[in-house]
Amino acid sequence: MAENENIVGGQAQPAAATPAPESQPQPQREFRGGGQRGGGGGQRGGQGGRGGGRGRRPDVGENAFEKGGEEIVEKVVFINRSSKVVKGGRRFKFSALVVVGDKKGKVGMALGKATEVADAIKRGGEQARSKMQAVSLKDATIPHEVYSTFGGAKILLRPASPGTGVIAGKVVRSVLESAGIKDILTKSLGSKNAANVVKATLNGLLSLRTREQIYKSRGLEIRKVVTPKAPEAVAAI
């Protein structure tokens, strides 16, 4: 007797067909850590990819913390990734360009390098804080116009009236805001390399001199000009 038949009333009846199990959906693979070309685990990037790209450039980040009773602002301007092909695969290293300042006339920058992004930012911040230098300011702007260059980067800085704001790109803005400048006009005329632009901006700020500093370096004294008062009107008799 066939196994798929049942006997009912002396007659063999075919057994009910067993429903076929529903097909289970296949789990979808998920890529993390990169886009289509960049990142550590994208479709084409990653350690096992074929010529992975550099990935998306991060935006400028800002962190504020206190050191010795002073509030220090730390901004990450640019993060770069480099790779080295070795026998076992690829080795990645990161460099972070960090700008720090107290928004009261002191600013510094440094380039931190490490095998991890967080370590590179930490090293860059520590080095930048140790390299902070004073900048000569006049209220919320700069005392005079200055033109500065570094490599292929060319930066023009001009003082502005109160309420103008910081008219600059994000790289130049990070340096100016860290120094405490609130009103200024700027123009980038040369290379767009972030490191050169930051260094050119910083060199321009360090070359600023106030009127008092110029007179003191020349051994002169600033004499206050006293305007004569208008003669009093003769009272009518």
Which sequence spans correspond to the domains of the chain? 61-217
pLDDT at 220: 87
pLDDT tens for each residue of 162-179: 999 999 999 999 999 999
The average pLDDT across 35-50 equals 43
Positive or negative, the CA dihedral 194, 197, 202, 205 is: negative
Q: Which of 21-30, 170-179, 222-231 has the lowest mean pLDDT?
A: 21-30
Q: Which residue has the higher pLDDT, 232 or 237?
A: 232
Share of the chain above pLDDT 90, in %: 54
Helix (H, G, I), strand (E, B) or coil at 24: coil
- Beta carbons of 97 and 75 less than 8 angstroms apart: no
Q: Which of 45-59, 73-87, 210-224 has the lowest mean pLDDT?
A: 45-59
Rounded Cα distance between 201 and 59, Å, is: 19
pLDDT tens for each residue of 113-166: 999 999 999 999 999 999 999 999 998 999 999 999 999 999 999 999 999 999
Rounded Cα distance between 172 and 199, Å, is: 10
Calculate the alpha carbon distances from 130 to 141, 191, 216 in Å.
25, 27, 28
Residue type, 215: Y
Choose the CATH number for 61-217 among 3.40.50.620, 3.30.230.10, 3.30.1490.270, 3.90.550.10. Answer: 3.30.230.10
